[in-house]
């Protein structure tokens, strides 16, 4: 079953109350699924591939407003009110920088591929048959991540042999718009402002980040067991760890620490335990297990979780 086909079964199993809001991404937020949610009495918030408002529209008079500041990433947004749904147009500086790097990479690899095909026309043993050249260009387009649609490519043939390949980047402005860092959040909720709509949508980021942890360091997959009870035990322990992870995140959010679990984990990983060993005069080995000095970030997180600055006490063992 494809991903969009799983949504109806999930919302039926969850059994949310009528009027509950379902937050989904573009991959599962098809028009059919959005209609299904409305038919079941749910509201929705989802990211769209384009500005999808129908009927009469009314744009916010004040234009773009800042809904997230900061040096690392600034997000501006404008609300467009349609008859059936509202659309929040968002522009992210961080996302724009990332998409521009992606676009430059796609362009470079696509043009290098075209030059390789073009160069083969002049080489002995290179692909010259017109049909084969078109096949190579077609395969290159499949690997281009969609950047090919902004190029015009012309292949000139003589007696079934490709004589020349020319290309031009005709729709560069369209490409810039596509990789501009803009994204669109569709919602059937008409009681929310820009900040609230965006805040609802970014809850997906936290969920996805937690699931990545579940699939990687929490070890829910791969499963190397063969017996049913061992498989169930393996999954149970992983899901138990996931609940612990979310309990930690919940407590941090209650203390105004709004950050991804991967960020917390990465920054806390620098606070480590060390073992110092030495020989005593009586010939025994002395092992001292102690933690490094916590930094400001470590102390802040421990304080938010109700822990001491040094959660693990120093231990001394003689062997």
* Residue found by looking up tokens 């500041």 in the block: 69
The C-alpha angle 154, 156, 158, rounded to 5 degrees, equals 165
Strand 182-187 to strand 152-158: parallel, antiparallel, or no bridges (unpaired)?
Answer: unpaired
Q: Is residue 295 part of a domain?
A: yes
> Using CA atoms, how far apart are residues 82 and 66, in angstroms rounded to an integer?
22
Task: Classify residue 127 by its DSSP letter.
Answer: -
Residue 71 token pair: 């040096």
- Domain co-membership, 148 together with 222: no
Q: φ, ψ for residue 67 (rounded to 5)?
A: -110, -10
- Domain co-membership, 7 together with 122: no
- Domain co-membership, 171 together with 277: no
The number of residues in the chain equals: 319
One digit per residue, the tens of pLDDT, for the chain of length 319 reads 678 888 988 888 888 788 899 999 888 888 899 999 999 999 999 988 656 565 555 666 567 888 887 777 789 999 988 888 899 989 999 889 999 999 999 999 999 999 999 999 999 899 999 999 999 999 999 999 999 999 999 999 999 999 999 999 988 888 998 898 888 999 999 999 999 999 899 888 888 888 888 888 878 888 889 999 999 999 999 889 888 988 998 999 899 888 888 889 899 999 999 999 999 888 899 999 999 999 999 999 999 999 998 888 899 998 8
Task: Classify residue 155 by its DSSP letter.
Answer: E
Domain count, the chain: 4
- Domain co-membership, 43 together with 185: yes
> Using CA atoms, how far apart are residues 58 and 269, in angstroms rounded to an integer?
49
> Using CA atoms, how far apart are residues 263 and 297, in angstroms rounded to an integer?
12
CA 247 to chain centre: 22
Farthest CA pair distance, the chain: 95
- Domain co-membership, 282 together with 226: no
Closest of 308, 273, 303, 271 to residue 288, by C-alpha: 273
- Domain co-membership, 149 together with 135: yes
* Rg, C-alpha atoms of the chain: 28
Closest of 97, 91, 66, 101 to residue 183, by C-alpha: 91
Q: Is residue 202 part of a domain?
A: no
DSSP-H helix ranges across the chain = 7-14, 31-39, 93-120, 130-142, 172-178, 194-201, 203-215, 228-254, 261-268, 296-304
- Domain co-membership, 11 together with 36: yes
- Domain co-membership, 11 together with 33: yes
Task: Classify residue 293 by its DSSP letter.
Answer: P
- Domain co-membership, 136 together with 159: yes
Residue 189 token pair: 């909720």
Say if CB 78 and CB 88 are below 8 A apart. Answer: yes
What pLDDT shows up at residue 242?
87
Segments forming the whole domain that contains residue 21:
3-89+181-193
> Using CA atoms, how far apart are residues 199 and 156, in angstroms rounded to an integer?
53
Closest of 52, 55, 57, 59 to residue 30, by C-alpha: 52
Cα–Cα distances in angstroms (integers) from residue 97 to residues 100, 176, 295, in the given order = 5, 12, 31
């Amino acid at each position: 079953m494809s991903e969009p086909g799983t949504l109806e079964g999930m919302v039926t199993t969850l059994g949310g109350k009528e009027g509950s809001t379902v937050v989904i991404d573009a991959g599962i937020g098809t028009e059919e699924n959005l209609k299904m949610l409305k038919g079941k009495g749910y509201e929705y918030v989802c990211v769209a591939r384009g500005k999808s408002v129908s009927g009469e529209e009314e744009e916010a008079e004040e234009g773009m407003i800042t809904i997230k500041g900061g040096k690392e990433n600034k997000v501006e947004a404008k609300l467009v009110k349609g008859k059936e749904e509202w659309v929040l147009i968002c522009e992210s500086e961080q996302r724009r920088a990332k998409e521009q790097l992606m676009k430059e990479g796609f362009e470079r690899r696509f043009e290098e591929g075209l030059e390789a095909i073009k160069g083969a026309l002049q080489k002995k043993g290179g692909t010259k048959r017109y049909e084969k050249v078109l096949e190579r260009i077609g395969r290159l387009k499949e690997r281009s991540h969609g950047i090919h649609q902004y190029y015009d490519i012309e292949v000139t043939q003589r007696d079934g042999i490709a004589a020349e390949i020319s290309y031009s980047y005709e729709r560069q402005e369209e490409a810039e718009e596509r990789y501009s860092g803009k994204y669109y959040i569709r919602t059937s909720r008409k009681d929310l402002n820009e900040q609230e709509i965006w805040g609802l949508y970014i809850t997906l980021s936290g969920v996805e980040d937690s699931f990545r942890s579940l699939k990687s360091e929490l070890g829910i997959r791969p499963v190397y067991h063969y017996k049913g009870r061992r498989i169930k035990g393996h999954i149970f322990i992983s899901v138990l760890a996931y609940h612990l992870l979310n309990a930690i995140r919940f407590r941090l959010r209650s203390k105004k620490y709004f950050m991804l679990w991967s960020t917390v984990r990465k920054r806390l990983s620098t606070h480590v335990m060390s073992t110092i060993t030495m020989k005593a005069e009586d010939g025994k080995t002395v092992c001292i297990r102690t933690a490094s000095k916590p930094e400001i970030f470590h102390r802040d997180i421990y304080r938010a979780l109700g822990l001491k600055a040094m959660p693990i006490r120093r231990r001394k063992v003689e062997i």
